[in-house]
Structure 1
Amino acid sequence: MSYFRKNSGTGNKSQTANTPLRMKILVGVILILFAALVGQLAYLQLIYGTRFSSEVNSTDESTMTKSVPRGVMYDSQGRVLVGNKAENAITYMRSLSATSKEMYQVANTLSNYIKITDEKPTKRQIADYYLADSARAKKVYNALPKSQKKSSLSTSEVNNYEVAYVETKIKPTLTTKQKTAALLYNKMSGTSTLSTINLKSNGLTNTEMAQVGEHLSSMPGVGIGTDWNRYYPNGSSIKSIIGSVSTTKTGLPSDNLQYYLVNGYSRNDRVGTSYLEKEYEALLKGTKATYKVTSDSSNKITKTEQAYKGQSGASLKLTIDAKYQAAVTKALKTQFNAALSAGAASLSSGAYAVAINPNTGAVLAMSGISYDPTTKKITDNALGTINQSFVMGSVVKGAQVAGGLINKVITPTNNTLPDTTIYLPGSPVKKSVYPVGTFGSLSATSALEVSSNIYMMQLTLKWIKASYVAKQYISMPQTAFQTLRNNFKMFGLGQKTGIDLPGESSGIEGSSYDSSTGVILSGSVLDESYGNYDAYTPIQLAQYVSTIANGGYRMQPYVVQSIGHTSSDGKHFYAYYNKKPTVQLKIPWTADELVVIKQGFYQVVHGSNAWGTAHSLKNVKPSISAKTGTAQTFYYNTKTGKSTDTELINETMVGWASSNNPQIAFAIVLAGIDPDLEGSYNKNMAKAMVTTYYKMHKGQFSSK
């Protein structure tokens, strides 16, 4: 026992002796490290102190942009079709340091001086405004169940739960002043950093401007600026062609948001949303003014200087004459109202008219009206000339005769065909409007004058080499439809014309084959030959008749003549680009073949046959060459989306003037006219379009 006690005592003595040594070593290491740290800090302070102090107090540079006025659009005579009307505006620029609390306070303060009455805050906007108050936000957060405020949830997820709680549980009721504040807060918080938006421009009163101006110092970011809105000093009949621009409220279209953001737009920028405004957006928008913004370490802006003053949007000069456009629209409404008064248009869907320069393709006027038989409402619809399709009837017979001549089925000296009615087995007789047996045979020019359906069908049977025995048998190649359609497409019928407006329709092709047997629809092929099957647009008709008028050049229609800029005083337009006429195709006919067709169109107006269809225009000056047409259609109920058995006709007309020196070509469509009350509406319209145009350009053209 004593042995073990002796050893134990020796161990304790050794351990006690070693402890002070370890402590001394540890304390020594600590002192050395501390001394090194102090030395390093002293070194950094002495050597780099000035540099670090400079970095702490350094500034940062950012770029801020401001929108510029949109480009102006002029008519062919330099009149403003759509311009920019300047208006005072209350603006807001979101700074680098702006917080939700600050924007909430600014919105509440600003609501003391202005009212927004043309907008109402949504439930979400009300909830966001409610939660912008930190005290209320804290209470809402505390009221949420634990599952909706777990640390694993993102800030946006928690915020969505808070918004839902406010919308469903609290349902705050706001005063008129608070509603304005909610709208203002929403606009401010949705603004990108260093972006400027208009908080109010429409209906801004002088009193509101004055009160806001007096209190700008208490509302960081708020300012007084200028806004612009589109206006139409020469009427709105052409507005549907010009298109629309989004508002600062709607901003960028959601369906193409990324495209605009990538191209430097802000979310609240106004952009063209339809037709010319959209088609030429890249030019019309201009280039934003750029400012260099300098801020200090606390994100306070210390300096703002303009780096680029910006460039207003390019201006467009159109081919359309505003006065002529207004006159054509007035004449169209006059004729349509006359048809309504006579009971002929009670089930019509509307009327359309296009005037075009046949030598260049420049559109001179595009007018359209839509009619709703259920509400009796008439609305302007100039775009219907490019996106509405109709079965056009006999107006296309010029192209059919041309096809026969070009393909040598008939010739300029041998083009007489028997005027024998077509009898298909099990089908109604196919004939012309005049009584059976009126003519034994007809030449091509006479067939155009009296608008013979029979001639076109006989020409087709010969052209496609069909086998036919009256009342017994008919057989034609499977390619018959394609043969006729390819010919019509040479003239622009049944395909897009390429006009510089988005949304153009290519027309509608009827079925070519029986769906159950796959056999070609022979009777429909014959209907196609005289314009009673496929549907075309009014602009296609205008291109087609222009091709005949100018001698065979299919010209691309266009409405923008020049692109340029407007002088600073707004009085002058300087073009830097002028549209050159574009020939899409040259019709491969001979001069003699063209004479046959032109003579036929001339005889439609100036012929002596009693069955001529437009002799009432014979004495109009300048001389008109034309072709009329009617096509069977049925009433389509827009409410039910179905056609009824009520039979109607489309009353159409195409032509040019003067006959020997074409300067204007026209196409007219009155859709859905009562066949028992057919009138001279299309001919009256043609007369008005031609005489008005020449009166406005008196002395410029020959009237022969």
Structure 2
Amino acid sequence: MKFFKQKSADDKSPKQSSTPIRMKLILGIIFVLFAALIGQLAYLQIGYGSRFKAEVQKANSAVVSSQVPRGVMYDSKGRTLVGSKASNAITYTKSVSTTTADSYQISNSLSRYIRIKSEKPTDQQVVDYYLGNKANSDRELALVPKAIQKTQDEEKINQAVQDQVRQRNIQLTDRQKTAALIFNKISGAYTLSTIYLKNNGLTDKEIAEVGEHLADLPGVGIGTDWRRSYPNGSSIKSIIGSVSTEKTGLPSDDLQYYLTNGYSRNDRVGTSYLEKEYEPLLKGTKATSKVWAKTAGNIEQSKSVYSGQAGASLVLTLDAKYQKSVQKSLESIYAAAIASGAAHYSNGAYAVAMNPKTGAILAVAGISRDPSKNKTTRNALGVINQSFVMGSAVKGAMVAGGLINKVISPSSNVFPDTPVYLPGTPIKKSVYPVGTFGSLDAESALEVSSNIYMMHLAMKWVNAKYVPKQDIRMPDTAFDTIRHNFNMFGLGQKTGVDLPGEISGIQGRSFNEQGHILSGSVLDLSYGNYDAYTPIQMAQYVSTIANGGYRMQPYVVQSVGRTASNGKKIYIDYNKKPNVQLRVPWTKDELNIVRQGFWRVVHGTNSWGTAHKLKDVKPAISGKSGTAQTFYFDPNHPNRKNPPELVNATFVGYAPSNNAEIATAVVFPGLDPDLEGSYTLQMTRAMVQNYFKLHKKRN
């Protein structure tokens, strides 16, 4: 029998003794890795915990904004000219996870309760709605020719699918048409943005039915929208301007400007005139809410962050009643001119009234006309963006310039009334027969509207060398000299009125092709038959004479404020201060020469006086009439030979003559010279009498 020697605990084999060492090494490495991981987690938690928390919250929440009512505009008496009328609306807020199928289902469900009758779906919208149904989409996709499918070009395949649907000429029911319109609105909405699905003509029944089924219409809600209203008539829109719709959104011309200033593409903005000029004030500040979304993308919670601020209120210088009366008078008198044949070729008429002491515009009216169709439209802003050769109405500025520059003086201002004879051109004279007057002083020249006087004044002023029937010699600066004088009164340059689109007028050529000064045209300029000015410039010019020499900046917005929540009180934050752009450097005696000439135009005794028909108006009017030769331009026949000769008829004036409260400018362009009549005087009479009647003033 063999016996084996028992090994002691210390007698281990090499293999047995190495196992614990490896295990210890592995465990040690694991421990170190866990320690490093825990250390890194602690570092991230302590150092970046708040940052990561904010990122997570940002991914699951967003701030959405909603529209606030646009600012209200009032007339000078506090009457609402344009307001924002609240109306019920069906809204929709698009969630993160909304699919085409969801949009299709919501559109069909909502179309059970509301109808959209103000719009009709386009052919493309019908196609998109039809393909929003997955069954229809799959069926149409299967019918696409194999050759197109093999290209795997998604754009070509989609186009082929849409072409197939168009060829089917799908007819929708009324309910499906509504669904198609809703589908289009939802599909075009941005994620987590709120849009209006129906905001016009919503009935109580529709609101009630939608409200009952909101649980089945994810994202749909009932809210409030606004739209522009005109309690005192829409004629004022030609001054106030327009606002874009949610459908048209931001105007393409200014898209980048609005986007960089925080607007959304479907925001409604002012697109013309006051609505555009004061857009930053009128738009207000949008209401904002914070919404949280579930993991699936559906909106879980919404909290108001800022209730928003309605747009600022504007108080205008216009009196709604006076504005209506001026527009009505202009339309009535112009219609009479058309009926008589005097305005057969005329393209419109314009009138503006302003306070000569402040520059506040009291009324502005205009008519545009297409002579070929005898179609007229209101165009009040033609007073700032249409220019005409005004004729003798500007002679007050010419005489004033001669006096200020010491070409003539209050005690020495007589010129012989002899016509100007230039080679190769018709005689340059006044309307009255040659020899009617031997000589004229400045006041008489204004009264009888002497062209001859203004030409002699111009020649002396620029140091022209004139010999009858020979070429006249003038310095190259002659035009600049006369134009600088007219500019001093606002003629030929922008007035700075707070309306967009103002033009400076049209300046005729100063030199011919050979570089020689057009000396005969300098003479035409002197009596208002060369450069073209706007009606608002004419109003500013006559106001400068009326108020004693202060060229006032015209303005339409008197003050800016806020309307109380009850809509019955305006809190004013800013008042416009009259702005003197220039002080005419004349003496009292020099001013009186011009004023006396304007008085005699209306109240003088000379039979060649041009505005005696206004002599009986109370309070007394002073002013200056004018006619300028022009020709009819037919846009359909631009090369027409021997176009009809016409005249632009004008009148500028102010009343009362001794302390003016109103200054007016009236222009009737393109009248028949044989039937010119006294339409501008009729309009001036109506403007002055209606103004003082409304304001209960007496001379």
Alignment of 1:446-465 (within 5 A): 446-465=444-463
Q: CA deviation at 1:637?
A: 2.3
Q: Is the 8 A contact 1:140 1:165 kept in 2?
A: no
3-state DSSP class of the match of 1:648?
A: strand
Unaligned runs of 5+ in 2: 1-14
1:170 maps onto 2:168 in alignment? no
Aligned equivalent of 2:11: none
Q: Is the 8 A contact 1:314 1:565 kept in 2?
A: yes
| TM-score normalised according to structure 1 size | 0.89
1:364 aligns with one of 362, 365, 380: 362
Aligned equivalent of 1:278: 276
Aligned equivalent of 2:603: 606
Listed one character per residue, the Cα deviations across residues 464-513 of structure 1 (whole Å, up to 9, x for unaligned) are 11111111231111111111111111111111110000000110111111
3-state DSSP class of the match of 1:198?
A: strand
Aligned equivalent of 2:680: 682
Q: 1:523 to 1:687 in 2, by over 3 A?
A: same
Aligned equivalent of 2:410: 412
Aligned equivalent of 2:8: none
1:485 maps onto 2:480 in alignment? no
1:656, 1:166 → 2: CA distance? Answer: 71
Listed one character per residue, the Cα deviations across residues 242-297 of structure 1 (whole Å, up to 9, x for unaligned) are 01001011111122223222222222111111111111111101111111222333
Q: 1:148 to 1:232 in 2, by over 3 A?
A: farther
Q: Is the 8 A contact 1:69 1:312 kept in 2?
A: yes
Aligned equivalent of 2:88: 88
Q: Is the 8 A contact 2:553 2:581 kept in 1?
A: yes
Q: Which moved further from structure 2: 649-658 or 126-135?
A: 126-135
Corresponding letter in the other structure for 2:472: I
2:336 aligns with one of 314, 335, 338: 338
Aligned equivalent of 2:472: 474
Which portions of structure 1, spanning 4 or more consecutive aligned residues, are displaced by more than 6 angstroms? 144-151
Q: 1:212 to 1:289 in 2, by over 3 A?
A: same
Q: CA deviation at 1:197?
A: 1.1
Q: Is the 8 A contact 2:148 2:156 kept in 1?
A: no
Q: Is the 8 A contact 1:237 1:367 kept in 2?
A: no
2:93, 2:443 → 1: CA distance? Answer: 72
Q: Is the 8 A contact 2:633 2:643 kept in 1?
A: no
1:596 maps onto 2:593 in alignment? yes
Aligned equivalent of 2:350: 352
Q: Which moved further from structure 2: 90-99 or 606-615?
A: 90-99
Aligned equivalent of 1:553: 550
Aligned equivalent of 1:311: 309
Alignment of 1:230-629 (within 5 A): 230-515=228-513, 517-629=514-626
Q: Is the 8 A contact 2:141 2:161 kept in 1?
A: no
Aligned equivalent of 2:6: none
Q: Which moved further from structure 2: 320-329 or 106-115?
A: 106-115
1:300, 1:84 → 2: CA distance? Answer: 33
Corresponding letter in the other structure for 2:557: V
1:36, 1:423 → 2: CA distance? Answer: 115
2:635, 2:362 → 1: CA distance? Answer: 31
Q: Is the 8 A contact 1:73 1:317 kept in 2?
A: yes
Q: Is the 8 A contact 1:653 1:667 kept in 2?
A: yes
Number of residues of Structure 1 aligned to a counterpart in Structure 2: 663
Alignment of 1:662-701 (within 5 A): 662-699=660-697
2:298, 2:283 → 1: CA distance? Answer: 31
Q: Is the 8 A contact 1:497 1:540 kept in 2?
A: yes
1:320, 1:352 → 2: CA distance? Answer: 16
Listed one character per residue, the Cα deviations across residues 302-361 of structure 1 (whole Å, up to 9, x for unaligned) are 322211111100010000000000011111112111111211111111111000000110
3-state DSSP class of the match of 2:90?
A: strand
Q: CA deviation at 1:545?
A: 0.5
Corresponding letter in the other structure for 1:418: P
1:647, 1:164 → 2: CA distance? Answer: 59
3-state DSSP class of the match of 2:472?
A: strand
2:539, 2:267 → 1: CA distance? Answer: 38
Q: Which moved further from structure 2: 627-636 or 469-478?
A: 469-478
1:221 maps onto 2:219 in alignment? yes
3-state DSSP class of the match of 2:674?
A: helix
2:669, 2:611 → 1: CA distance? Answer: 19
Q: CA deviation at 1:672?
A: 0.9
| TM-score normalised according to structure 2 size | 0.90
Aligned equivalent of 2:634: 637
Q: Is the 8 A contact 1:394 1:630 kept in 2?
A: yes
Q: Is the 8 A contact 1:140 1:162 kept in 2?
A: no
Q: CA deviation at 1:695?
A: 1.4
1:387, 1:255 → 2: CA distance? Answer: 20
Q: CA deviation at 1:406?
A: 1.2
Using the aligned pairs only, state the percent identity.
62
Q: CA deviation at 1:638?
A: 4.1
2:619, 2:408 → 1: CA distance? Answer: 32
Q: Quote the RMSD (CA, aligned, Å).
A: 2.9
1:410, 1:470 → 2: CA distance? Answer: 22
Corresponding letter in the other structure for 1:168: D
Q: 1:72 to 1:429 in 2, by over 3 A?
A: same
1:132, 1:236 → 2: CA distance? Answer: 42
Q: CA deviation at 1:180?
A: 2.4
Corresponding letter in the other structure for 1:63: V
3-state DSSP class of the match of 1:226?
A: strand
2:150, 2:508 → 1: CA distance? Answer: 62
Q: CA deviation at 1:36?
A: 5.8
Aligned equivalent of 2:104: 104
Q: CA deviation at 1:633?
A: 1.1
Aligned equivalent of 1:10: none
1:521, 1:421 → 2: CA distance? Answer: 19
Listed one character per residue, the Cα deviations across residues 403-431 of structure 1 (whole Å, up to 9, x for unaligned) are 11111111110000011001110101111
Aligned equivalent of 1:9: none
3-state DSSP class of the match of 2:643?
A: strand
1:307, 1:192 → 2: CA distance? Answer: 20
1:185 maps onto 2:183 in alignment? yes
Q: Is the 8 A contact 1:127 1:163 kept in 2?
A: no
Listed one character per residue, the Cα deviations across residues 136-160 of structure 1 (whole Å, up to 9, x for unaligned) are 4445556377778878x7xxxx3x4
3-state DSSP class of the match of 2:228?
A: strand
Q: Is the 8 A contact 1:101 1:132 kept in 2?
A: yes
Q: 1:137 to 1:522 in 2, by over 3 A?
A: same
Unaligned runs of 5+ in 1: 1-20
2:686, 2:366 → 1: CA distance? Answer: 15
3-state DSSP class of the match of 1:251?
A: coil
Aligned equivalent of 2:119: 119
Aligned equivalent of 1:4: none
2:416, 2:291 → 1: CA distance? Answer: 85
1:448, 1:145 → 2: CA distance? Answer: 88
Aligned equivalent of 2:12: none
Corresponding letter in the other structure for 2:377: T
3-state DSSP class of the match of 2:633?
A: strand
